[in-house]
Amino acid sequence: MTDHYPDKENGTKTRSSQPPRKKSPHVPFGDMRTAPWYGKDIISVRQFTSADLDYVFGVAHEMREMVERVGTFDLLKGKILASLFYEPSTRTSASFTAAMERLGGSVIPINEVTYSSVAKGESLPDTVRTLECYADVIVLRHKEVGSAAQAAKYAKKPVINAGDGTGEHPTQALLDLFTIREELEIFEGITVTMIGDLRYGRTVHSLARLLKLFNVRLNFVAPELLRLPLGIVQELAENGTPANYYEALSPELIARTDVLYVTRVQKERFENPEDYDKVKGSYVITPETLKQAKDKMIVMHPLPRVGEISMEVDDDPRAAYFRQMEYGLYVRMALLAMVLGKA
C-alpha cells in the first residue's frame, strides 16, 4: 500500500511506501518560532538542564529512526549552514555537514581559513556578521577560549560552538551523553572513568559538567601534568558529585567502571615539546586492560586516537567509539532542527 504525505514546503503531496508517520511531539511539520530553542545559540553545556537533555535526546532518537527508515528528508530544505573552522577537524566538521544534508539543507564550508579574509586580518565578529548574510546558522570552531561566546554576541543568527580552544565542546558532550544513554540505557548510579589528557581536553570538561546533573560517580585518571583543571574540580565538589583522582588505571578501578572515556594527549596544546614527551603514551588500553572490566560496559573516545587504545580492542563489543561517532550525527541533526525552529 502506498501512502501520501504533505510536502512541508509547498503543500504538494509526495509518495512513499512507508507506513504513515505518527504525530511526533519532537519533530512537527512546519516551523515552530515559539519553540524553546528557536534562534538560540549553543555555546556551553551550562545552558542545559536535565529536562533539556531529555528533549534533545528525544529529538535525536527520532532523527536516528528517520535516517534508518528513509536516509534523508527535507526538514531543513532551503536552510543554509555556514561551517567556520579555524582549527583542523574531521569528525565534527563532517558530522555537521552530514547532519545538515541529511535534513535537506545546504552547507557553506570554510575549513581553510588560511586562504580566507581571516588571513587578511578580518576580525571574528566581522567574519560572523558577513557569513550570517548568507546562512541561517553558523557552526564555529576556534582556537581561543570564549570565541564562540564572542561570535554569538555579534551574530543575529544562531551560533553553535564546535570547540573553543581548551574551553568547551558542548555538542561533543551531548553526543557522548546520548551514546551512554543509547548503549547502557541509564545514567543514574553509573561510574564513569575518564583517562588521559584531562587538562586540555575540552570534551572532558564539557562531559564532566553535564554528568554532574545526574547521580553518577566520576573517576579521573591522569599524570600530574594533565590533571583536571581546578575550576572543574571545584564545580564537582560544590555540586556534591562523587569524584576521585588517580594517576594509574588499576584493575580494581576498571572493574568498577561502566564507561571508560579515553582521550589522547594533545600535542598541539603544549607550548613546551619536552612536557609533551613526558606524558605521551602514558596510558594504552588493550584487551588485557579490559579483562577485569564488566561484560556490560563501554569504552568511548572522542577521536582521533594516536595509540591510546590498541586496535585489537576494536573488535570487542564494548568498544563504542565508532558507534559514538554515528550517535553524533543524530544529536547534531537534532540541534540544527531545534535552533532553526523545526523541533
Averaged pLDDT for residues 118-139: 89
For the chain, the 3-state helix, strand and coil shares in percent, each to the nearest 5, are 40, 15, 45
What pLDDT does residue 310 have? 94
- Please tell me the predicted confidence (pLDDT) of residue 200: 82
Question: What's the pLDDT at 279?
Answer: 54
**DSSP codes of every residue in 152-195:** HHH-SS-EEEEEETTS--HHHHHHHHHHHHHHHS--TT-EEEEE
Question: Is residue 283 a contact partner of residue 196, using CB atoms and an 8 Å limit?
Answer: yes
pLDDT band at residue 116 using 50, 70 and 90 as cut-offs = low
pLDDT in tens, 268-311: 555 556 655 555 667 899 999 999 999 999 999 999 888 899 99
Distance between CA atoms of 335 and 331, rounded to whole angstroms? Answer: 6
All domains in the chain, ordered by first residue: 29-168+329-339 (3.40.50.1370), 170-326 (3.40.50.1370)
* pLDDT score of 5 more than 80: no
pLDDT (tens digit per residue) in 140-195: 999 899 999 999 999 999 999 999 988 889 999 999 999 999 999 988 899 999 99
| Distance of alpha carbon 242 from alpha carbon 107, whole angstroms | 42
pLDDT tens for 207-266 read 999 999 999 999 999 888 888 999 999 999 999 999 999 999 999 999 999 999 999 875
Q: Which amino acid is at 120?
A: K
What pLDDT shows up at residue 268? 53
In this predicted structure, what is the pLDDT of residue 288? 96
Cα(203)–Cα(205) distance, integer angstroms: 5
* Alpha-carbon distance values, 32 to 150, 212, 318 (Å): 27, 31, 39
Measured distance between the N- and C-terminal CA atoms of the chain, rounded to whole angstroms = 29
The per-residue pLDDT for 22 is: 64
pLDDT in tens, 14-32: 444 556 556 666 765 566 7
- Give the burial class of 272: count Cβ atoms within 10 A of its Cβ; 0-12 exposed, 13-18 middle, 19 or more buried: exposed
Q: What is the pTM (predicted TM-score) of this model? A: 0.85
